[in-house]
Structures are given as C-alpha cells and as structure tokens.
Amino acid sequence: MNQPPAGGLAASGLLTLNYPMSLGVYDEYGEAQKAVDYLADHEFPVRDVMIVGTDLRQVERVTGRITTGRVLAGGLLSGIWIGVFVGLIFAMFEGGESLWARLLSTVAIGAVFGLVWAWIGYRATGGQRDFSSIAQVVATKYEVLVEHKHIERGRELLAELDPMRAAQDRARRMQERAAEQAARSGQAGQPGSAGQAGQAGPPPADRA
C-alpha cells in the first residue's frame, strides 16, 4: 500500500491526536497490530488510534568483508554496464558497419573507468571500513494510543481480547499514578514551595 511522505502527514495533522492516552505497550509490532485489528473488527473508531514505536535503536547487520579484489570486481562490472549503455546510445544515432567496434571501445573505456574510480574510492577510506553492512532503525516497544474520549471503550475491548494483559496494564497504570502522587507529595513538602502543605488542594482527578 502506497503511503504519502511523512512530512505531508505531519503537515496535515494525521500524525497527531487530541489528548492521546495509552491503550497498551507491546514488545512486538505484530502484537500492537493485532490489538488495533481487533478494535477495527468491533467497529471501534480506529481513525483516532496511533501505533507509536518507542525506545528506538539502530541495528547494523554486517553482510561481508570488503577486499581490494571485491571492490575492483564491482567497479569493473559497473564500468562495463556504463560502457554498454553509452555504446547502444551511439549505435541508435549513428549506426553503420562500425557498430560492434564502437560498442567494444565504449565497454573497454567504461571498464577502465570503473576500475580506476572504484580503486580511488576504496583507497580514500584508508581501510577504516573494510566490511559491508545494512543498517536499520527499529523500535523495541510499540505503544497503542487513542484519543481520550475513546479510552474506556478501547480498554474494555482489549480486555476481552487479552484479559491477562489488561490486568497487567491496570497494575502498571496504578503504579505510575502512585509514583506521580508520591512525587507531588515530595515537592509539596520541600522548603520554600508555594503555599503551605495544609493548604494544598486535592490531587487531580484520575483520568485512567
């Protein structure tokens, strides 16, 4: 499925939610996708849902060792293809009996050019990266977010999908609220804080 560029999505507001709240955190993208698919199957307004990858890290997979011979072979092949391409262009516009001779000459020139260019590029690295690799940025956690007005319905549906995970999520939210309340109490008890401890207002209402 084709997707518009991320910049266009952000500019149109499709990558933002109004007061997002967490429905769950998953270790694998497939688990988060399964949760959203379950919501969609039960006519939940998934247009107000986001899957956000968190705890990003870069993974680089080494695919092989780079040697002088390998570099020169790659340059030779690239030069040959360039020579064939240029020779065919000349043949289209000129033709004549010298077609094969011109094609061979362009291939030879391209091969030499490819060899020299590959060797110069390899020597310029100074041998500091004698291996090839594939790098990718991946997320270690995936959080499903939803607009606050749908949070209760979303949690009810996900509790039906996986009751054990729902119980774990409730326990995690309770721990987070307790930590927040403890932090507020500690700040209120510090010397010089605004107001007296006895005049402190009630804690904010629980949104979970």
Condensed to tens digits (0 to 9), the pLDDT of residues 136-192 reads 998 999 999 999 999 999 989 988 888 887 777 778 778 888 888 888 887 776 665
Residues with Cβ within 8 Å of residue 45, at least 6 apart in sequence:
150
Q: What is the pTM for the complete model shown? A: 0.54
CA-to-CA separations, 166 to 23, 139, 160, 161, 169, in angstroms, rounded: 9, 22, 8, 9, 5
34-71 pLDDT, tens digit each: 999 999 999 999 999 999 998 889 999 998 888 888 88
